[in-house]
Amino acid sequence: MTEKILIVDDEKDMLVLLQRIIEEETDYAVRTETDAVRALERFKQQPCDLVVTDMKMPRMSGIQLLQALKKISPSVSVILLTAYGTIDSAVEAIRKGAYDYITKPFQRERILLTIGKAMELRKILHENQALRQALALDKGLPPLVGQSSAVKRIIRHVQQVAPTMATVLITGASGTGKELVARAIHQYSARRDRKMITINCTAIPEQVIESELFGHVKGAFTGAWKDKKGLVEEADGGTLFLDEIGDLTPALQTKLLRLLQEGEYRPVGSEVTKKADLRFVAATNHDLKTEMRAKRFREDLFYRLNVIRIDLPSLAERKSDVPGLSYYFLNKYSSAYQKEIKRISPAAMQALMAHAYPGNVRELENIIERGIIFCTGGELAREHLFIEADMEPAVAGMNPSVVEMPFKDAKDHMIQGFHHHYIQALLEKSNGNISRAAEMAGIQRQYLHRLMREANIDAECFKP
């Protein structure tokens, strides 16, 4: 669907100029209006994705129009055009929800770049919302959402696997969202109306985990003064999620294998075999094949679990999802702490994109929450994040021999490295769409083609 832009300015020459610039360089559908009051009525009848409005106009100012638009559609993006003398007012408008402001006279590249970024942010937020609704996620969990090909692949697999009864093994580092995927599988399944019981195989002490899992009968051990129902029985008819299954003891692995194979188990101290109708989902941050070779994990249990495998990438492997996730957590914690923080500054976003995230999505969530706590204005700034900016790949990966080169050769070497990393990041974010990548970078499509040829980069490698 073509995105729509409404331009509002009481100067007709300015409307003609802006419309020509946007239509020549983009595929957006542009409408114009010389009166803010009429523009507001038009928006009520025909909503659009972005409004570009002058600050000073008769009957209704740009800020008044902004406030009225936000009441009708809080998600609409608004860019203000302002003279130098009204910059303070424009900054105040950003605190009230404007995306950005541009001073007159403006450069053609600046207006196109700002519009492109506003549209990109809107697209990311809308995709994240749609994906969260599609997965029916719990509000308390970090979202596995984004526009990267990796996330789209995972969601596609969840949708295909969930309606079946197949056992699923979810692998990935801590903080990548393994429990989130497990919940999505349950919520997409025919068992969604029954319980999903989670067993953290690391958190439960070894001495009691068998009792917690299978239950026990009165007198089975000291302190067992009455029969107790186990988590397996509680999950009967639903889904049993075994988190960090790689940490189970060999003895318990044997009993779990019987449960998976036969659907049978015995409470501790009982001689009666019980049946359980369960959907099994397991997760681990271990390499279970390595654990098998070391004789720490049963081979037959691994193959029983590894019917369907979903591997979750680290956040470092899907950096294009950082902006959308950051704004998701910004909205979440702004609401939780009753603050009106609507924006992340460019410097802060640059720091967030540069960070390595050894703790993955969970670490990003903690960084944003901490920033919200320390932020006192309407914009999350770099100094609120309290993270050390990681060095860019081209610098961090600099070979010591580079400093032995003549300055010009070293400079050319570093520029080539920058082009390679930057173009790859652009194409990853745009899913291989060259026109969109050029728009995001604020450069001509032909120039991006030339840079890609020089860097030997093929856009097809980045398409989903």
Domain boundary among 288, 311, 334: 311
Predicted confidence band of residue 407 (pLDDT cuts 50, 70, 90): low
Q: Decide if pLDDT at 52 tops 80.
A: yes
Structure-model confidence comparison of residues 98 and 406, the more confident one: 98
Looking at the fold, whether 260 and 244 belong to one and the same domain comes out as yes
Looking at the fold, whether 277 and 344 belong to one and the same domain comes out as no
Looking at the fold, whether 298 and 205 belong to one and the same domain comes out as yes
Structure-model confidence comparison of residues 363 and 418, the more confident one: 363
CA distance 210 to 188: 29
Give the CA angle between residues 175, 119, 370 to the nearest 5°. Answer: 35
Looking at the fold, whether 164 and 219 belong to one and the same domain comes out as yes
Q: Decide if pLDDT at 395 tops 50.
A: no
Looking at the fold, whether 274 and 348 belong to one and the same domain comes out as no
Per-residue pLDDT tens digits for 301-320 = 999 999 999 999 999 888 88
Looking at the fold, whether 124 and 264 belong to one and the same domain comes out as no
Question: In the chain, how many domains are there?
Answer: 4
Q: Is residue 389 part of a domain?
A: no
**CA separation (Å) from 399 to 180, 395, 407, 417?**
40, 9, 14, 12
The arithmetic mean of pLDDT across residues 93-121, rounded, is 82
Mean per-residue pLDDT of the chain: 82
Q: Is residue 75 part of a domain?
A: yes
Per-residue pLDDT tens digits for 200-225 = 888 777 677 888 889 888 888 877 78
Give the CA angle between residues 204, 208, 274 to the nearest 5°. Answer: 110
The arithmetic mean of pLDDT across residues 118-133, rounded, is 62
Looking at the fold, whether 154 and 294 belong to one and the same domain comes out as yes
Q: Decide if pLDDT at 372 tops 90.
A: yes
CA distance 28 to 25: 9
The arithmetic mean of pLDDT across residues 390-416, rounded, is 52
Looking at the fold, whether 72 and 18 belong to one and the same domain comes out as yes
The arithmetic mean of pLDDT across residues 8-29, rounded, is 90
The arithmetic mean of pLDDT across residues 258-262, rounded, is 90
Looking at the fold, whether 180 and 125 belong to one and the same domain comes out as no
- Highest mean pLDDT pick, 274-288, 405-419, 433-447: 274-288
Q: Decide if pLDDT at 437 tops 60.
A: yes
Structure-model confidence comparison of residues 428 and 334, the more confident one: 334
- Which among 56, 62, 107 has a CA at the least distance from the CA of 83? 56
The arithmetic mean of pLDDT across residues 333-351, rounded, is 86
Residues 6 or more apart in contact with residue 9 via CB below 8 angstroms = 15, 18, 32, 34, 53, 54, 57, 81
Per-residue pLDDT tens digits for 161-204 = 999 999 999 999 988 889 989 998 998 888 988 999 998 888 77
Domain boundary among 311, 336, 353: 311
The arithmetic mean of pLDDT across residues 230-239, rounded, is 92
Looking at the fold, whether 106 and 145 belong to one and the same domain comes out as no
Structure-model confidence comparison of residues 371 and 225, the more confident one: 371
Q: Is residue 429 part of a domain?
A: yes
CA distance 362 to 324: 14
Structure-model confidence comparison of residues 390 and 82, the more confident one: 82
Predicted confidence band of residue 27 (pLDDT cuts 50, 70, 90): confident
Q: Is residue 331 part of a domain?
A: yes
- Highest mean pLDDT pick, 78-92, 113-127, 161-175: 161-175
What pLDDT is stored for residue 9 in this prediction?
Answer: 93
CATH number at residue 87: 3.40.50.2300
What pLDDT is stored for residue 1 in this prediction?
Answer: 61
Instruction: Give the up-direction half-sphere exposure of residue 424: CA atoms within 13 A in the CB hemisphere.
Output: 14
Q: Decide if pLDDT at 461 tops 70.
A: no
What pLDDT is stored for residue 133 in this prediction?
Answer: 45
What pLDDT is stored for residue 351 in this prediction?
Answer: 85
Q: Specify the range with the lowest mean pLDDT, choosing from 79-83, 113-117, 143-147, 455-459.
A: 143-147
Q: Is residue 438 part of a domain?
A: yes
What pLDDT is stored for residue 36 in this prediction?
Answer: 93
Domain boundary among 76, 102, 129: 129
Q: Is residue 298 part of a domain?
A: yes
What pLDDT is stored for residue 449 in this prediction?
Answer: 80
- Which among 182, 164, 161 has a CA at the least distance from the CA of 172? 182
Looking at the fold, whether 167 and 303 belong to one and the same domain comes out as yes
User: What is the residue range of 76's domain?
Assistant: 4-129
Element (H, E) at 27: none
Tell me the whole-structure pTM to 2 decimals. 0.56
What pLDDT is stored for residue 197 in this prediction?
Answer: 93
Looking at the fold, whether 34 and 142 belong to one and the same domain comes out as no
